[in-house]
Structures are given as C-alpha cells and as structure tokens.
Amino acid sequence: QVQLVESGGGSVQPGGSLRLSCTASGRSFSTSTIGWLRQRPGKEREFVAAIIWSGARQYYAHSVKGRFTISRDNANMTVDLQMNNLKPEDTAVYYCAKSRFREYPRSSSYYDLREYDFRGQGTQVTVSS
C-alpha cells in the first residue's frame, strides 16, 4: 500500500509561481509512474503531468506544457510540480497519484486517469488577482 500527501498549495496572483510536493510512503513508489491530476471548480478531474519510475520521461497536458515541470527524487520518495506563469484557469485542487505500472508502451496511457489507482487528499491552488 502507498500513501501520498500533497503540500505547497496556496493563493497566488496571475503570472506567479508555486511548487507542489508529493511525499510518499510505501514500497511501490519508486517502481511506479507518478502523476499530478487536478479538479477545477465545476469540472471533471483531469491529467496534468506524469513522470515515469526512473524520472527519464515526463508527460504534460497541453494546457500546462512549457509552464509546469514535474520531477522526482526516489531516494526521498517525493515528486514535485513546479508551476510557473500561473493563470486563473489553473485554479483547482491538485492531487498526486500513483499509476498501476512503472511505465507504459503507449504514451496515451499516461493521460488516462483509469491508470492511477491511488491518490492523495489534494492541495488547493488559487490563482486570482
């Protein structure tokens, strides 16, 4: 079993930055793809970013590519999401989630929320002037 705890959320003005952290416990963390998902007000939960077990490849939603960066430190069992140039439409609850496998043969699998079987409680990010 794995437990995931998110931190680093808060309120920021448009154009600002935040860094979210996900701290994990449990044996399967370092052998799993880890993703960040989010749920915006009144919307379905959606994929934001993912990083494979080794950190060698990352995947991003089109809406955040070039602004967000995902990274991981398996020794400390953390996955971070650096968010720059934040926009009001980035306002959401952000969740860290563990996927079922260490990596996938098809890139489309990383964007499929059904591949993420555990997630944390979430951290609120609010972007507003």
The DSSP string of 39-102 is E-TTS-EEEEEEE-TTSS-EEE-TTTTTTEEEEEETTTTEEEEEE-S--GGG-EEEEEEEESSS
Which pLDDT tens digit goes with each residue over 56-86? 999 999 999 999 999 999 999 999 999 999 9
Buried b (16+ CB within 10 A) or exposed e, 65-95: eeebbbebeeeebbbbbbbeebeeebbbbbb
Q: What is the pLDDT of residue 74?
A: 95
Q: What is the pLDDT of residue 27?
A: 80
Instruction: Tell me the C-alpha distance between 65 and 47, whole Å.
Output: 12
Q: What is the pLDDT of residue 119?
A: 87
Q: What is the pLDDT of residue 89?
A: 97
Q: What is the pLDDT of residue 117?
A: 87
Q: Which residues of the chain have pLDDT under 50?
A: none
